[in-house]
Amino acid sequence: MSTIDGLRERIAAAKNRAEPGPAARVVLVPTMGALHAGHLSLVRRAHARGGIVVVSIFVNPLQFGPTEDLASYPRTLDADVAALAAEGVAFVFAPEVSTMYPDGAADTRVTAGPVAALLEGAVRPGHFDGMLTVVTKLINIVGPDVVVFGQKDAQQVFLVQQAFADLNMRTEIEVVPIVREPSGLALSSRNRRLEPTEIEAALALSAALAAAVAAAPDGLQAAQVAAHTILAAQPLVKLDYLVVVSPHDFQPVAAGFTGPARMLVAAHVGSIRLIDNEAIDLGSAPA
């Protein structure tokens, strides 16, 4: 389950046994564990794309900054493996840090570029460099035809897509829509740490995005006002950022922008930091 050569041998054997076509396609779902229903939706999509599904579980130290507690990140490997077995996943790659970085922290890293310094990157310097480095390593280890990511980490998705294009990587990227609770709350491993009153407050994030989508035909300002109004009414929510970015370059859109974009929000609810995002189609403000 955790050795690189052993995993490669098992994947190669599975490909040799499979009929040519989709059954022989290798699909990778990279995770850091603490799996929830959102992760399992990625697994189900992976099964739809290929017959050999590999799920990696690795808490990558390169993604953690000096002020972040790597040791406290939730690790639920036994429960994760059981959940993946129930989903029919035969290949779980859960390496030790020493397996991925046998000589200590990697000297050679993938640099994510200017977008990595914005938004989540401003809060977590170096996070996206670490993410792209480990994703590249996992691609090289597993050799997938397709890799599956969730839309909830929108900036991560953009940077992975940019890196794969810039580096001419042949692996296809599949992006799965955000999975939400019936209440609208985006699924996250952090949700389990919210108190009941905080869960109620956290609903303001998805409500703000929904209000912005409804107001979007009237333009950028209307969408922003609608979202801010919802968030400001919830005292337990401390806004980090609320921004509308272009899907082409992930830069904040200018006043007067019209067309498809994405609104992203990050906020603390109590001590827990949550993120969410939604596609938005901005129209022209009435004259």
- Does the annotation place 188 within a ligand binding site? yes
Q: Which of 39, 47, 248, 268 is catalytic?
A: 39
Mention every residue, 6+ apart, whose C-beta is less than 8 A from residue 258: 219, 282, 283, 284
- Does the annotation place 268 within a ligand binding site? no
Query: Token pair 């005292």 is at which residue?
Result: 235
- Does the annotation place 167 within a ligand binding site? no
Is 127 one of the catalytic residues? no
What amino acid occupies position 261? A
Look up residue 195 and give its two tokens: 């108190």
Strands 52-57 and 26-31 turn out to be parallel
- Does the annotation place 234 within a ligand binding site? no
- Does the annotation place 36 within a ligand binding site? yes
- Does the annotation place 63 within a ligand binding site? yes
- Does the annotation place 38 within a ligand binding site? yes
In degrees, rounded to 5, the angle at the alpha carbon of residue 237 between the alpha carbons of residues 233 and 239 is 100
- Does the annotation place 50 within a ligand binding site? no
CB 219 within 8 A of CB 287: no
Look up residue 233 and give its two tokens: 């009414």
Task: Give the closest residue to 162 by CA, choosing from 206, 202, 118.
Answer: 118
- Does the annotation place 150 within a ligand binding site? yes
The burial class, CB within 10 Å (0-12 / 13-18 / 19+), for 258 is middle
Q: Is the dihedral of CA 38, 213, 158, 113 positive or negative?
A: negative
- Does the annotation place 41 within a ligand binding site? no
- Does the annotation place 37 within a ligand binding site? yes
- Does the annotation place 88 within a ligand binding site? no
Active site residues: 39
- Please give the annotated binding residues for (R)-pantoate, written as ranges: 63, 156
- Please give the annotated binding residues for ATP, written as ranges: 32-39, 150-153, 179, 187-190
- Please give the annotated binding residues, written as ranges: 32-39, 63, 150-153, 156, 179, 187-190
- Please give the annotated binding residues for beta-alanine, written as ranges: 63
